[in-house]
Amino acid sequence: MSAAQEQPQGHGLRGLGSATTQLLPPFLNSAAGTVVALAGALVLAYLAHVFVIWYRLSHVPGPFWAALSKYWMVKQSLKGRQPTAIKEANDKYGSLVRIGPNELVTDDPDLLRKMMAVRSPYTRGPWYDAMRFDPARDNLLSTRDDVAHTNMRAKMAAGYSGKENESMESTIEAQIAKLIELIETKYLSTAQQYRPMDLAQKCQYFTLDVISHLAFGAPFGYLVQDDDVYDYIKMTAAVIPAMLVLANVPTLANVLQSRLFRGLLPKASDKVGFGAFIGVANKVVAERFEPNAVSRPDMLGSFIRHGLTQPEASGEALLQVIAGSDTSASTIRLVMLYLLGNPTAYRKLQAEIDKGIAAGAISSPIKDVEAREMPYLQAVIKEGLRIKPPASGAFFKTVPAGGDVIDGKFIPAGTQIGSSPFGIHHSKQVFGEDAGLFRPERWLEADADSFALMSSTVDLVFHYGKFQCLGKTVAFMEFNKIFVELLRRFDFALVNMEKPAEISNAGIWIIENFMVRVTRRQV
């Protein structure tokens, strides 16, 4: 083949390449354009979604980034300062503050009473889903259905009130006696012997034995063994904070409690920790439901007589121990801590106790009815509850259908509104300019109207209306007795003045290493 003949072939190949080259750029440009357009559409859709989330409650002020995600809430919870951060937001932005895409908080006591009133259309929000201590079942705290919650409360009210548990006061007295015996045999210091005691630990031993005795008819034995039975305290120090963080992201809580991941959570077959408590509660309850079981005059017996099923009773027994021990222990610890940091208040309370004993107005042990007549003791208890509310989560409620108007702002249905515990209980309008201080005298100095306002506000520590804590009677009976019985016998002194205890917040107060020196009083 001649060169002349080859030329057209070569030229044809070059022409094909040229044509291909001409065809590729439009093809690639088209594909790239499609990708860019799709990416742009996705970005616009995401921005529109973010805008809709932001705009829905944009008329309510609050930290800017809190309106776009729950990161602000989770961050503050992980740092152990959510109640403080929420109060700071109230101080900066006003009584009603936005702290999440669909979450608001208020420091208005009247609004909280309206939300929690018996006939209020507000219901518990998804926040409560994380309060299932046993992921397999709801309890009185986690139940969100209003009808089911009301029915459950009706079955349990008599047991908590003491109407069907006449030994409630003597049961608490028995555990106080064991605490005193423990101190006298192992932790009493003298001029010759120094025996420091972790008061935080012993307070929780006391409340755990009280509530287990009241609930099951026999204490778990923390005070007798002077030990963390089942590693309960160690485990709850990890589990409860995690639960309260998860409460800020209810979807995640529900995923973890699902059948797929439930095996990773504490379970009844565990030998120690939170799971072991589930197992103990299930076992004790099962025994009480046996055909030949005898009805007993304790809380569990009352629950059963009023119609709780075995699964319901198991869930409530677990709730009793957890909710009834940690919150009461926190208040006892904090009152003692603040008394030791305020020598004037400490001595005033001891003087009132000594005067009552000398006048024959205080029995040994003191009776609940006698303690109620001690003005300074009641002031100390109220001030302790106020200064650090024992259950300091947000407890979000859902705005009902049709929405609501709050502070002149329309709040759409489905919005979550929670409480600002420090904003409420450190209110200068209610408690005075020194509301951030532990000062029991404010209760004695107040006129009748101010006292009534302060009292009704502090009562919100136990919530209100259809959500009021059933354990309030038990808690106050513990408080009315424990401080008198300790301070009539012993003197307490802080071991570490610079850091008297380690305190963090996880919806409840985690208080550890509260070391004290205990000596016998010389009266």
316-319 — which CB contacts under 8 Å span 24+ positions? 316/139, 316/140, 316/152, 316/156, 317/215, 317/216, 317/281, 317/284, 317/285, 318/133, 318/134, 318/139, 318/277, 318/278, 318/281, 319/133, 319/139, 319/140, 319/141
Which one-letter DSSP state was computed for residue 467? Answer: G
In DSSP terms, 520 is beta-bridged to: 490
Element holding 504 (H helix, E strand):
strand 502-505
354 CB-side CA count, 13 A:
12
Q: What is the distance between the alpha carbons of residues 323 and 236, in angstroms, rounded to a whole number?
A: 11
Residues 217 and 205: their CA atoms lie apart, in Å, by 17
Give the C-alpha separation, 17 to 28, whole Å: 16
The answer to whether residues 249 and 70 touch, using CB atoms and an 8 Å cutoff, is: yes
* Burial per residue of 345-357, b for 16 or more beta-carbon CB atoms within 10 angstroms, e otherwise: bbebbbebbeebb
Nearest residue to 468 via CA among 82, 131, 149, 244: 149
How would DSSP label each residue in 347-405?
Answer: HHHHHHHHHHHHTT-S-SSPPHHHHTT-HHHHHHHHHHHHHS-SB-S---EEPPTT-EE
- C-beta separation of 105 from 73 below 8 A: no
Beta bridge partners of 418: 105
Looking at the DSSP bridge assignments, the partners of residue 505 are 509
Per-residue exposure over 359-395, b if at least 16 CB sit within 10 Å of its own CB, e if not: eeebeebbbbebbeebebbbbbbbbbbbbbbbbbbbb
Q: Is 203 annotated as a binding residue?
A: no
Q: Which residues are annotated as a binding site?
A: 469
Binding residues for heme, as ranges, are 469
